[in-house]
Every structure is written in C-alpha cells, then in structure tokens.
Structure 1
C-alpha cells in the first residue's frame, strides 16, 4: 500500500514539474534555468511543510509518503539542476552557473525552513 501512495504522488509531481518548468522558462529570456529553480524551491517548501506537520503530529506517514516522497520526489530535480549547472559552465556562463548553485541551495533551504515554521504556526 505504501508504494501506491508514492506512485500516486509521483503521477502528479512529474507532469507538474515538466509543465511548471516549461511555463516559467518560457517567460524568461535568459540562460538561467528559472523553471528548475522554481520547482526545486516550491518542492522544498512543500517538503518542509509536510515535515513540520508530521513533527507536530498533524500529518501521518501516509501523507508523508504521498506528498513528501511521491509528489516532492517527482516535482524536484537534483539531476536536472546539476546538468543545467554543468551546461552553463560548459557554455562559458560561469557566473550564471555559480548563481544557480548558490541561489538554489540558499532558496531551497530557506523554503524548507519556511515550510517547517509555517507548519508550526498552523
């Protein structure tokens, strides 16, 4: 049963990642990978919220599997983040590559902490 929750979350998360990435990137005329940045930060916020709710006893293991592992696991993408950073470096856009690494890690951590704090406030 647990695996089914993960699969159901991923069924929503994977297309959501793709569609969000395309929609965000289409609105920016830049080599910076804004779409991947957005899905990773949003996924970090959701995961922080789910983790905070679970720590407070307001979310059980089934919700963690559905949203945390399934949805966020398919929504966020470390491999694409790494690949896009590598491509920026290879294209001579070292500044964008560095900005991608620093901004993604900082914003992802900030979003995860914000999610935990938001869960505590609820």
Structure 2
C-alpha cells in the first residue's frame, strides 16, 4: 500500500512541477530558473510542514505527500543543471548562477523552517 501512495503522490508532484515550471517561466522569463526555484521552495515548505507535524500525522500521509509528492515536485538535479548552464552562459552568467545557488539554499531553508514552525503540533 505504501508503494501505491508514493506512486500516486509522485504522479501528481511530477505533473505539478512541470505545469508550475512552465507557468512561472512564461511569466518571469529565463534570466534565472524561476520555475525550478518555485517548486523547490514550495516543496521545502511542505516538507517542513510535514516534518513539523511529525507524529500528529498518520504515516500514510508522509508516504503520499512527503516521499511521493514532494519527492517528485522538487528537483535538485535540475537545480544543479540549470546553475551550471547559467555559469557557462557567458556575460553575467556566473553572477546569476551564484544568485540562483544563494536564493535556492537560503530561501529553501527559510521555507522549510517556516513550514516546521507553523505546523500543527510542531515542537517549534
């Protein structure tokens, strides 16, 4: 049953990542990988929320949303690829790559922390 929950969450998370990336990129352009940043921040917040709630949530919800949905929604490999692509792109690409790394890591950590803090039953 756990495998089916992870697969269902993953299917929805992957579709959400694709659609979010397309919509955000269409709106804000490609100067930075805004779509990837958006899904990674959303996934960090949700995972922080789930972790903060901890034992207050049933285990199946962690499999469905944490492992399945967040696992497919977020993408470290695309973040890495897009960062390298920015860095070798010439012009101010290295600065944009550095900005992408700083934004992704700092705001991602802040989003996860916020999720943890606002979670019902959170020790924070």
Tell me if TM exceeds 0.5.
yes
- The separation in 2 between residues aligned to 1:67 and 1:29, in whole angstroms, is 29
Match of 2:56 in 1: 58
> How many Å apart are 1:121 and its aligned residue?
6.6
- The separation in 2 between residues aligned to 1:18 and 1:5, in whole angstroms, is 20
SS at match of 1:27: helix
Match of 2:111 in 1: 111
- The separation in 1 between residues aligned to 2:44 and 2:82, in whole angstroms, is 19
Q: CA-to-partner distance for each residue in 1:21-53, whole Å, 9 max, x for gaps? A: 000010113420000000000000000001111
Asked whether 1:68 is paired with 2:31, we answer no
> What pairs up with 1:95-110 in 2 under 5 angstroms?
95-110=95-110
C-alpha root-mean-square deviation of aligned residues, in Å? 1.3
What's the TM-score, normalizing by structure 1? Answer: 0.94
Match of 2:76 in 1: 78
- 2:17 and 2:72 in contact (8 A); partners too: yes
Match of 1:88 in 2: 86
Q: CA-to-partner distance for each residue in 1:69-98, whole Å, 9 max, x for gaps? A: 000000000000000000001102001000
SS at match of 1:31: coil
- The separation in 2 between residues aligned to 1:70 and 1:121, in whole angstroms, is 22
Which consecutive residues of structure 1, in runs of 5 or more, have no partner in the other structure?
Answer: none
